Chains A and B, each alone.
Chain A
Amino acid sequence: MRMLSRFDRKSLCIFISALLLVLLPILAALAGEPYLVSLFSRILIYALAAASLDLILGYGGLVSLGHAAFFGIGAYAVGILAHHDFEETALISWPLIIPGSDSGLVAWPLAIMVSALLAAIIGALSLRTRGMHFIMITLAFAQMLFFFFVSLEGYGGDDGLTLFSRNTLPGLDLGDDVQFYYICLASLSVFLLLAGRLVESRFGIVIRGCRENEKRMQSLGFPTYRYKLLCFVIAGAAAGLAGALIANQVEYVSPGLMHWTRSAIILVMVLLGGSGTLYGPVLGAAAFLLLEEVLSIYTEHWMVYFGPVMILVVLFARHGLFGILVGKEKRHG
Chain B
Amino acid sequence: MAEPLLRIESLCKSFGAVKACHDLSLEVHAGEIHALIGPNGAGKTTLLNQIAGDLTPDSGQIFLAGQEITHLPLYRRAPLGLARSYQITSVFANLSVEENMLLAIQAHHGHSFRFWGRGLKDPQLLAELGPALETVGLSERAEAIAGNLSHGEKKQLEVGMALSCKPQLLLLDEPMAGMGPGGSIELSKLIHKLKKEMTILLVEHDMEAIFSLADRITVLVYGEVVATGSVEEIRSNPAVRQAYLGEED
Contacts and interface: CB of A to CB of B under 8 A. Distances in A.
Given A212-B92, A332-B147, A200 B103 contact: no
Given A219-B84, A220-B103, A332-B147, A212 B115 contact: no
A201 B116 contact: yes
Contacts of B91: 213, 216
Given A219-B52, A221-B107, A333-B147, A202 B117 contact: yes
Interface residues of B, number: 40
B59 interface: no
Nearest to B78: A221
Given A203-B112, A216-B91, 19 more contacts: A203-B113, A209-B92, A212-B92, A213-B90, A215-B90, A219-B74, A219-B78, A220-B103, A220-B161, A221-B75, A221-B78, A221-B107, A221-B165, A222-B75, A222-B112, A223-B75, A330-B145, A331-B94, A332-B94
A333 B95 CA distance: 12
5 contacts: A202-B112, A205-B103, A212-B93, A213-B93, A216-B90
A236 to B, nearest CB: 16
Interface string B115-130: 1111110100000000
B104 interface: yes
Contact of B145 (A198, A200, A230, A331): A331
A218 interface: yes
A201 B115 CA distance: 5
B118 to A, nearest CB: 5
Contacts of A206: 103, 106, 112
A203 B114 CA distance: 6
Contacts of A212: 92-95
A205 B78 contact: no
A213 B107 CA distance: 14
B103 A209 contact: yes
A277 B102 CA distance: 22
B119 A200 contact: yes
Contacts of B165: 220-221
> Which one of A198, A205, A219 has the highest number of Cβ atoms from chain B below 10 Å of its Cβ?
A219
A38 interface: no
- Nearest 5 interchain pairs by C-beta: A332-B147, A221-B78, A220-B107, A202-B119, A205-B119
A201 B114 contact: yes
Contacts of A203: 112-115, 119
A16 B111 CA distance: 38
B79 interface: yes
A222 B107 contact: yes
A123 interface: no
A interface bracket (residues with beta carbon within 8 Å of B): 20 to 34
A202 B106 contact: yes
A331 to B, nearest CB: 5
B115 A197 contact: yes
Given A202-B112, A206-B112, A333-B147, A216 B117 contact: no
A203 B110 CA distance: 12
A212 to B, nearest CB: 4
Given A219-B78, A220-B104, A198 B115 contact: yes
B71 interface: no
A191 interface: no
A147 B116 CA distance: 39
A134 to B, nearest CB: 19
A205 B104 CA distance: 11
B108 interface: yes
A202 B161 contact: no
Interface string A189-214: 00000000110111111100100110
A182 interface: no
A206 B91 CA distance: 14
Interface in B64-86: 73-79, 84
Contacts of A330: 145
Contacts of A223: 75-76
B123 to A, nearest CB: 13
Interface in A207-262: 209, 212-213, 215-224, 227, 230
A221 B119 contact: no
B235 to A, nearest CB: 34
Contact of B112 (A200, A205, A215, A333): A205
B54 interface: yes
Contact of B75 (A201, A205, A218): A218
A61 to B, nearest CB: 11
A220 B158 CA distance: 11
Contacts of A222: 75, 107, 112
